[in-house]
Amino acid sequence: MRGAGLAVHFDPIGNIIGRLEGTDPNAPAVITGSHLDTVPEGGGYDGAVGVVAGLAAIKFLQSSGTLTHPLELIIFAAEESSRFGFMTIGSKAMTGMASRYAWSKAKDPAGVTLEKVLRDRGYNLREVDGASRVKDKIKAFVELHIEQGSFLENAEKKIGVVETIAAPTMLKITVEGVAKHAGSTPMDDRHDALVSAAMIVLAVQSIALEQSHCGTVATVGQLKVSPGAMNVIPGLVELWVDLRGVEQESIIETLQDIKDAVSTIADGQETPIAIDVMLSEKPVQMHEMVVQKIEDICISDKIPYQRMNSGAGHDAMNMARLTPTGMIFIPCRGGISHNFEEFTKLADIQTGIEVLTKTLYDLAK
Ligand code: HGY
Ligand code: MN
Ligand code: MN
């Protein structure tokens, strides 16, 4: 960013903000950006493409003359939920949605607290509200991202114009059994927490399948068995459910069906089960003014595009609460993402940069 002549600063939660002034210092900023953090064994394009494309677009606009509005490129901190269980921490703090109390309890799988990780980097969790930005200083936000699905590839489209971003609901479910000797305990004298957890995993899948016509999906992606020895009947199991949807009623119905299934399993297996709703957000609409600009550019440049929804969550979900927001999707091979095999062709990235550059120009001229 500095090499491109942007003034760079870090905000109180570690978002990195590069800014290029326009001719009118009081004009609200036109912003692009994404994230650089990823998931365990993740790929090299989720988030990173949006940051690099944003820098390329700003460098191109800078070389083609000054614009009225300042341009900003933001690298959001901690977008992924995989380390601390909270998604989009950086953009939540920027949009006044910091959950300071919940974040003060957050720990990573190694038991390291978010508070310590921030402190070791010179940040103070109690000051993260200082990261929030005011509405009238921002004109619009546009994020370029890989689709992380195979819709564009199958439809042979080069650009996805996002209309709605699915909302995440994340649950932590704790199953309490009784740890006993795996060899000397008769089968009818067991309260095996992992058997109950396995029933929950299957229930989550069948409930989500019933709701899949509404675009609702659910996964149990993480499971922790204690004490975790092969010759001990599991006494405690923690499992984390990731539920997403673009239709609020379907999300609510899915959540209720999961709660009903869990209580039936708890009774039937005689293993008490607790559900902690860690996160429950609503689907977010992109702003039609920005959506239309992206669509008009695709039409005038004869780029095959498709309006679509995003099943994955993004920082744009939060920025949409602060300013008119849009997202530009580019295809990724086989729809594979959150996987080391994640790949996007350079030609597709270039098409994305072209559309992003023209959208930012249109907004900032
Ligand atoms: O989980 C998500 O939707 C995003 O990758 N953080
Ligand atoms: Mn991701
Ligand atoms: Mn991402």
- DSSP string across 162-224: EEEEPEEEEEEEEEE----BTTTS-GGG---HHHHHHHHHHHHHHHHHHHGGGT-EEEEEEEE
Reply yes or no on whether the pLDDT at 71 is more than 90. yes
| Angle between the N-to-C axes of helices 288-300 and 346-364, in degrees from 0 to 180, rounded to the nearest 10 | 120
327-350 residue pLDDT tens: 999 999 999 999 999 999 999 999
pTM (2 decimals)?
A: 0.91
What would the two tokens of residue 350 be?
Answer: 């270039």
Q: Is 165 in the pocket of ligand 1 (CB under 6 A)?
A: no
Residue 221 has phi, psi (to 5 degrees) of -100, -10
Cα 26 to averaged position of ligand 1 atoms, centre (Å): 34
Q: Is 354 in the pocket of ligand 1 (CB under 6 A)?
A: no
Q: Is 70 in the pocket of ligand 1 (CB under 6 A)?
A: no
Residue type, 103: W
Tell me the CA distances in angstroms from 365 to 22, 51, 135, 353, one per residue in order.
9, 21, 20, 17
Percentage of the residues of the chain whose pLDDT score is greater than 90: 96
Position 66 scores a pLDDT of: 82
Position 191 scores a pLDDT of: 98
Cα 266 to averaged position of ligand 2 atoms, centre (Å): 33
Q: Give me the mean pLDDT over the 219-248 stretch.
A: 97
Q: Give me the mean pLDDT over the 31-39 stretch.
A: 97
Closest ligand 1 atom to the C-alpha of 313? 3
Q: Give me the mean pLDDT over the 281-308 stretch.
A: 97
Position 241 scores a pLDDT of: 97
The DSSP 8-state label assigned to residue 69 in this structure reads S
Minimum CA distance residue for ligand 1 atom 6: 80
Q: Which band of pLDDT confidence, cut at 50, 70 and 90, is reported for residue 143?
A: very high
Cα 279 to averaged position of ligand 3 atoms, centre (Å): 18
Cα 39 to averaged position of ligand 2 atoms, centre (Å): 7
Closest listed ligand to the CA of 33: 3
Q: Is 313 in the pocket of ligand 1 (CB under 6 A)?
A: yes
40-61 residue pLDDT tens: 999 999 999 999 999 999 999 9
Q: Is 312 in the pocket of ligand 1 (CB under 6 A)?
A: yes
Closest ligand 1 atom to the C-alpha of 81? 6
Q: How far apart are CA 121 and CA 228, in angstroms?
A: 34
Exposure of 215 by Cβ count < 10 A (0-12 exposed, 13-18 middle, 19+ buried)? middle
Q: Which band of pLDDT confidence, cut at 50, 70 and 90, is reported for residue 64?
A: confident
CA angle 239–248–134, rounded 5-degree value:
95
CA angle 330–335–341, rounded 5-degree value:
105
Position 110 scores a pLDDT of: 93
The mean of the pLDDT values for the chain is 96
Cα 207 to averaged position of ligand 1 atoms, centre (Å): 21
Position 304 scores a pLDDT of: 98
Reply yes or no on whether the pLDDT at 63 is more than 90. no
Reply yes or no on whether the pLDDT at 135 is more than 90. yes
> Which of the listed residues 281, 309, 338, 339 should we mutate to test ligand 1's pocket, taking the one with most ligand atoms within 8 A of CB?
338
Q: Give me the mean pLDDT over the 182-201 stretch.
A: 98
Q: Give me the mean pLDDT over the 102-116 stretch.
A: 94
Closest ligand 1 atom to the C-alpha of 337? 5
Closest ligand 1 atom to the C-alpha of 242? 1
Reply yes or no on whether the pLDDT at 85 is more than 90. no
Closest listed ligand to the CA of 49: 3
